[in-house]
Chain A
Amino acid sequence: DTEVTQTPKHLVMGMTNKKSLKCEQHMGHRAMYWYKQKAKKPPELMFVYSYEKLSINESVPSRFSPECPNSSLLNLHLHALQPEDSALYLCASSHRAGGPETQYFGPGTRLLVL
């Protein structure tokens, strides 16, 4: 199984809502990532988890809160988002973080903040 799954596929939320994005992989990978991608732009790294510990936070606003409950799951908790946070949120995983590791990406969650 070389698949990374993400739920939901689409999400519409108001600026006062709290929601969560979920990501799952069963490839035994020990590194997991969150990216944000705006239309016609490249993916931008947000967070990296290595062995279930947060290893990189690319100065992401605190309204985005990542969580890695176990080696297969990665969540992104959303609270008090702004309309400019509307984007495609991508999850990825790799065998380990660092080095030329191939990342496997999920299909993404399309988020619209009203």
Chain B
Amino acid sequence: LAKTTQPISMDSYEGQEVNITCSHNNIATNDYITWYQQFPSQGPRFIIQGYKTKVTNEVASLFIPADRKSSTLSLPRVSLSDTAVYYCLVGERDDKIIFGKGTRLHILP
């Protein structure tokens, strides 16, 4: 199972674009990259998933370089409500997923 490494925490300001990078050097050929968001005392919520190049939805964009050894979650024009923990997950072995330590994003006014 690919191990992921993310920054422990990040600060940004309202209205800014935030990019959170995740390293996954041992990603396997069939692995997908998935990002979840978690607010305090709530369950994680799926944000976006991709395999290669770029994926965009109404919430975020995910950039994946050709070697797939890293990925970047991009949140456009963040607001205070985007303050949360963001988890990068890679692949699944058998039936389980393993959450890494995540990135605590703090948006300042």
Contact = CB atoms under 8 A, between A and B. Distances in A.
A107 B43 contact: yes
What band does the interface of chain A fall in when counting residues whose beta carbon is under 8 Å from B?
A: 20 to 34
Contacts of A100: 31-32, 34, 49, 91-92
A31 B92 CA distance: 14
Nearest to B45: A105
Interface string B70-109: 0000000000000000010001101111111110000000
Contacts of A45: 96-98
A102 B95 contact: no
Interface stretch (A59-67, A69-77, A90-98): A90-98
Interface residues of B, number: 22
Interface in B22-53: 31-32, 34, 41-46, 49
Contacts of B101: 42
B104 to A, nearest CB: 9
B43 A50 contact: no
A104 B100 contact: no
Contacts of A104: 46
Contact of B95 (A42, A90, A91, A98): A98
Interface of B: 31-32, 34, 41-46, 49, 87, 91-92, 94-102
Interface of A: 4, 31, 42-45, 48, 50, 55-56, 58, 88, 90-92, 97-108, 110
